């Protein structure tokens, strides 16, 4: 776990699970000889990726940005994500002294399984139930529609059946515009990775942390053209990513990576046309 303090705000990035995905798919058209400088592939050309969850405590509220794969994955889903280890979501929250009932918001960057699966727990009889029964689940309406009506390319990525069960609880808030979810935390549509993908920004005083989700999933994806093959609208990713990196560097913002195995929070520097990340934050048990 890595803790970042910003005045009255506390952010903690913790690993919900680790998955292994094809390195080529994570870097798109970039040749392996270039991307393997950032990620070592195994014999099956897979690279390790953490499902990082960011917990935010600010202004008396507790929010989670994404919540990983969860413990209700099927055998087929575990094979797709190369993940065979149990979810650490419950254990991590217990370590942090967070009661699930105290979580006020679950904010999803998007609704792919590895980002929203943990929103639903599974009972002893195999039924799904909301893990955070008092939390408002903040999703983009565009993303919600896509997740419930996936095309052939997206079908394996969205847990549509579980999202429908979550909807029946009345805990889902669908938004259509950029807004402040609660004081200090706002969301902004990025598109690119999916039509309704959004970034989350935490601002306290003069400090801002950007959580760009799968627009910049790891510190190895800082180059604007390093875009995953799974992005449905790669040119939109490219344009938003360039604008966002300019804002991050110009504002001295911090970035939280959602899939990096080593760098959880970082400051970004532009030097000689190249972006680089410097880790910030305190490691905590």
Q: What is the CA radius of gyration of the chain?
A: 18
The pLDDT value given to residue 4? 96
The dihedrals phi and psi of 28, each to the nearest 5 degrees, come to 65, -125
The pLDDT value given to residue 84? 87
The pLDDT value given to residue 232? 96
The pLDDT value given to residue 285? 64
Which residues are paired to 122 by β-bridges? 128
Query: CB–CB of 198/188 below 8 Å?
Result: yes
- Topology of domain 2-283 in CATH is Metallo-beta-lactamase; Chain A (3.60.15)
Hey, which bits of 41-184 come out as E strands? Answer: 46-58, 61-65, 105-107, 120-122, 128-130, 136-140, 172-175, 179-182
Distance, in Å, from the CA atom of 46 to the CA atom of 23, rounded to the nearest integer, reads: 5
Domain coordinates in residue numbering, the chain: 2-283
Q: And the tokens for 248?
A: 């991050």
Q: Read out DSSP for 76-116?
A: HHHHHHT--SPP-HHHHHHHTT--GGG--EEE-S---HHHH
* Distance between first and last Cα of the chain: 6
The pLDDT value given to residue 123? 82
- What residue ranges of the chain have pLDDT lower than 50? none
Task: Provide CB contacts within 8 A for 271, sequence distance 6+.
Answer: none
């Amino acid at each position: 776990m890595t803790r970042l303090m910003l005045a009255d705000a506390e952010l903690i990035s913790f690993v919900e699970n680790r998955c292994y995905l094809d390195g080529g798919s994570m870097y798109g058209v970039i040749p392996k000889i270039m991307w393997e400088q950032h990620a070592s592939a195994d014999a099956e050309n897979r690279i390790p990726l953490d499902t990082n969850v960011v917990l935010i405590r600010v202004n008396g509220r507790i929010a989670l940005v994404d919540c990983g794969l969860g413990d209700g994955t099927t055998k087929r889903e575990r094979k797709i994500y190369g993940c065979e280890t149990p979810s650490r979501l419950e254990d991590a929250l217990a370590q942090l002294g967070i009661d699930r009932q105290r979580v006020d918001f679950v904010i999803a960057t998007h609704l792919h399984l590895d980002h929203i699966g943990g929103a639903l727990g599974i009972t002893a009889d195999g039924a799904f139930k909301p893990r955070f029964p008092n939390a408002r689940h903040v999703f983009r309406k565009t993303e919600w529609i896509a997740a419930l009506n996936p095309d052939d390319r997206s079908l394996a990525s969205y847990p549509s059946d579980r999202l429908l069960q979550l909807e029946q609880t009345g805990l889902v808030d669908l938004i259509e515009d950029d807004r402040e979810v609660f004081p200090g935390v706002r969301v902004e549509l990025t598109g690119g990775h999916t039509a309704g993908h959004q970034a989350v920004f935490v601002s306290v005083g003069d400090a801002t942390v950007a959580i760009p989700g799968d627009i910049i999933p790891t510190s190895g994806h800082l180059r604007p053209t390093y875009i995953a093959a799974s992005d449905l609208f790669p040119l939109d990713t490219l344009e938003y990513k360039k604008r966002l990196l300019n804002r991050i560097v110009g504002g001295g913002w911090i970035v939280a990576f959602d899939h990096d195995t080593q760098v959880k929070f970082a400051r970004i520097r532009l030097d000689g046309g190249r972006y680089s990340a410097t880790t910030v934050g305190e490691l905590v048990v």
